[in-house]
Structure 1
Amino acid sequence: MTSKTNGSSPPDKLTPQQQAMPEVNTLTAADISASLKAGLADFLARPVMSGFFGLFYTIFGILFVWCLVWLGKIWMIIPAAVGFPLVAPFAAAGLYEMSRRMQNNEDFGWSDILTVMANQRKREMGWMAFVTLFIFWVWTYQIRLWLAITLQNASFSDFDRFLNIVFFTPQGWTFLAIGTCVGAFLSAVLFSVTVVAMPMLLDRETNFISAMITSIRVVTGNPVVMLSWAAIISVTMLLSMLPAFLGLIFTLPILGHTTWHLYQRAVSPAEG
């Protein structure tokens, strides 16, 4: 492991009410490379089970877009497709648990992983799901707001007309510019608070506030490396969605497993 610790040591003799924040490690590009190799190895070790989570995410995405078409919400298709990867960290919870068990050489089956995921509702993961879905909701409604402001009374009778207005009119370019900036900000916020928090909540007993703070510390302590990882995730997810979301069957599991191994390198193990 190429990481090295960065930060002060936790105080001695903590009271039961106190909880030491974990040490955050310094990461390099080698950590991303090694994590990707480990993530791919995890996927190849259990391709059917890993692919199941990717397939579930893919089917949900297809149904989501179909519902928008059925409801006549044509204008929501592109924003929804772009914002859809925002909820991927929560969707990958089962993949984190699989990687954790494989790393510890534990045997497991479908019931073991699904039971652990079901039990997360009794822990802090539910609050992280709320944070994730709330930011996705903000993303959706800010798009609706900017559509109303920039495109005003434009009619989107079909998807082709919507694309024509967005990509070939000055008002559409304004909408794209504003939406891209706001979307980049919301994506950065969500990435910062979840990239380490999600696997951390599965790995140890802690509260979601501490997990989010630790995640932010990892990102701010390793801005270049973590922004590079965010770029890899974004480009991979968006390209995977082009063939009717089908690429996500493979890329989501690999990225999920990789995130677990990067978390292991970014945060020092819990004591005891």
Structure 2
Amino acid sequence: MNPDTPSPPSEGGRRLRAAVRTVLSPGIWLVLTSQFALAFSLHWRPAETASAEASALPILLTTTLLLLFLYLQASAFQALARSREAVSAADVVRAGRAIFSAFIWLTLKAGLSLVLILNLLIYLSLLVSGHDFKSVIEAISPWLGPLVGILAFAFVYWLPFVFVRGEFRLLPSLKASLRIARARLSHAGFLVLLVLVPVVVSAFLPAKIPVLLDFAVSVVSGILGWMAYIYCVEAVQEFVPETRSDTVA
């Protein structure tokens, strides 16, 4: 080994770096702010006596905030994958221009694939159980949250791989992320804490909780999610040493 080549960080060092980069990155806080603004806009309801223009305003605002959030999220993913330091708000605003359309297309493909799989599972449940559609949905609904959490954990290296390698094809990136997850299975405990524990905690919270508590839980979950992303980005950068490709397909 070349003595001038820096050795990879220890597991503890990688975890600490993920926490520090998350907290000290203004760009991440910008994304979280846009996410919370989007969440609050979804709860905005105009008065029943409002005009048609006023009634359409929440829809327009929510659509605008959704696009802004998606852009900032993609930009933050890109900026964090290109740097090993904290990222500024300006970095996040600039970074997404080249990859936003590819990210949206990838997100649509992933979302449609998930919907297709869920519909197939519901259809199979109808055939096997003999129950009506409403009964099957009521039986499945409590498990959707935990299922999403399990999928997020299983594919936790997916978006880090996508942005580190510039690989925006759905199936190749999913397969590669699973290979990395399998190879790093012995280090999965930290990711369980970051990804699965918030899902378990949310499952035990009552349906209606105070707004401030809901906001606090969302902040903590968001921070832990970004810590998981940064941790996985650095792991992918070391696991896949090839030169980054800037080609998006």
TM range (shorter): 0.5 to 0.7
Letter in 2 for 1:99: L
2:20 counterpart residue number: 41
Deviations for 1:22-61, whole angstroms, at most 9, x for unmatched residues?
xxxxxxxx73x44431122113323x43222122223333
CA 1:137–1:34 in 2, change beyond 3 Å: closer, same or farther?
A: farther
1:261 paired with 2:216, answer no
SS of 1:119's equivalent in the other structure is coil
Which of the residues 19, 27, 36 maps onto 1:58?
Answer: 36
Of the three residues 91, 99, 110, the one matched with 1:112 is 91
Of 115, 138, 159 in structure 2, the residue corresponding to residue 198 of structure 1 is 159
Instruction: Indicate the residue corresponding to 2:3 in structure 1.
Output: none
Number of corresponding residues: 200
Amino acid at match of 2:23: L
Whole-Å Cα distance in 2 between the matches of residues 207 and 191 of structure 1? 20
- Do 1:39 and 1:257's aligned partners in 2 also have CA atoms closer than 8 Å? yes
- Tell me how far apart the structure 1 counterparts of residues 134 and 80 of structure 2 sit (CA, whole Å): 48
Alignment CA distance shift 1:213-1:45 (3 Å): same
Q: Is the 8 A contact 2:150 2:196 kept in 1?
A: no
1:116/1:99 CA distance change after superposition, 3 Å:
closer
Equivalences for residues 68-217 of structure 1 within 5 A: 92-100=73-81, 102-103=83-84, 109-123=88-102, 125-134=103-112, 137=115, 152=134, 175=139, 179-180=142-143, 184-185=146-147, 187-193=149-155, 195-208=156-169, 209-217=171-179
Letter in 2 for 1:40: A
1:270 is aligned to 242
Residue segments in structure 2 that go unaligned for 5+ positions in a row: 1-6, 48-68, 126-130, 206-212, 245-249
Specify the SS of the correspondent of 1:244.
Answer: helix
- TM-score computed with the length of structure 1 as normaliser: 0.53
SS of corresponding position for 1:113: helix
2:74/2:99 contact within 8 Å kept:
no
Does 2:201 match 1:234?
no
Partner of 2:98, secondary structure, is: helix
Q: Is the 8 A contact 1:199 1:263 kept in 2?
A: yes
| Amino acid corresponding to residue 108 of structure 2 in structure 1 | F
1:179-234 per-position Cα deviation (integer Å, ceiling 9, x unaligned): 42x654554445434x2231222223334233221101122334454376245313
Bigger relative contact order (CA 8 A; separation at least 6): 1
Equivalent residue letter for 2:89: W
TM-score (norm 2): 0.56
Does the 8 A contact of 2:75 with 2:94 survive in 1?
no
Assess if the C-alpha contact under 8 Å between 1:94 and 1:113 holds in 2.
yes
Deviation, structure 1 residue 120:
1.4
Aligned with 1:206: secondary structure? coil
CA distance in structure 2 between the partners assigned to 1:115 and 1:44 by the alignment:
20
- 1:244 matched to 2:214: yes
Counterpart selection for 1:221 from 167, 183, 200:
183
What is the RMSD computed on CA atoms of the aligned residues? 4.6
Q: Is the 8 Å Cα contact of residues 154 and 178 (structure 2) preserved in structure 1?
A: yes
Distance between the aligned counterparts of 2:70 and 2:15, measured in 1?
16
CA deviation string 1:238-260 (max 9, x = no partner): 64796224433354244314422
